[in-house]
């Protein structure tokens, strides 16, 4: 089993408020706590994790564009919870298409079970998979799925 590089985990708009707003819906866990859990899981899977959050569509495009898959230190995969931009951002979709790094779409809730306008995902079309509905666990499960995918060396179609 070959060594896998760093995983970049990007969380989008309003996710900085996790645990502070609407705990009845989203739970009391903050994004920092989710990141901590994710790091633990990453260690057990023998990969490094780099977890960030931004409310800016352009910053997400920057981060994906700047990620490089070259070298031991390079970025091997992406976890992306684009939140509201999932449904509206063609720019992030194009960024994902322009990179050869595989990406998994992550959601805390299950968007397909919500409002009609949350059922369209621009981003899905450029992702290898989706994990949705498990709160903070969605990140952990997506990480495991991504790492296993990378270990199989499956070519990205």
Strands 129-132 and 49-53 turn out to be unpaired
Residue whose token pair is 């960024």: 95
Binding flags for a copy of itself, 109-128, as an x/- string (CB under 8 A): -x-xx---xxxxx--xxxxx
Nearer to a copy of itself, 78 or 83 (CB): 83
Residue 113 burial class via C-beta count within 10 angstroms: exposed 0-12, middle 13-18, buried 19 and up: exposed
Check if 35 is active-site. no
Report if residue 1 touches a copy of itself, rule: CB under 8 A: no
Nearer to a copy of itself, 30 or 88 (CB): 88
Give SS3 for 47.
coil
**Integer Cα distance of 16 and 68 in angstroms:** 26
Check if 26 is active-site. yes
Of 29, 39, 50, 137, the one binding a copy of itself (CB under 8 A) is 137
Q: Which of the following is catalytic: 35, 85, 93, 107?
A: 107
Using alpha carbons, select from 102, 105, 95 the residue that is nearest to residue 12.
Answer: 105
Binding flags for a copy of itself, 34-63, as an x/- string (CB under 8 A): --------------------xxxxxx-xx-
Q: Which positions are catalytic?
A: 26, 107
């Amino acid at each position: 089993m070959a060594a896998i590089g760093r995983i970049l985990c990007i969380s989008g708009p309003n996710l900085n408020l996790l645990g502070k707003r609407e705990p009845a819906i989203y739970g009391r866990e903050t994004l920092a706590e989710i990141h901590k859990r994710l790091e633990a899981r990453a260690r057990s899977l023998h990969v490094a994790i780099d977890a960030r959050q931004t409310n800016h569509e352009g910053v997400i495009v920057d981060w994906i564009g700047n990620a490089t898959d070259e070298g031991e230190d390079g970025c091997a995969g992406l976890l992306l919870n684009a939140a509201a931009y999932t449904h509206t951002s063609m720019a992030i979709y194009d960024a994902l298409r322009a990179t050869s790094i595989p990406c998994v779409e992550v959601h805390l809730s299950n968007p397909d079970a919500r409002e009609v306008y949350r059922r369209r995902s621009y981003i899905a079309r450029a992702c290898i998979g989706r994990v949705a509905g498990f709160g903070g666990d969605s990140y952990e499960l997506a990480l495991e799925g991504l790492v296993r995918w990378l270990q199989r060396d499956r070519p990205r179609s």
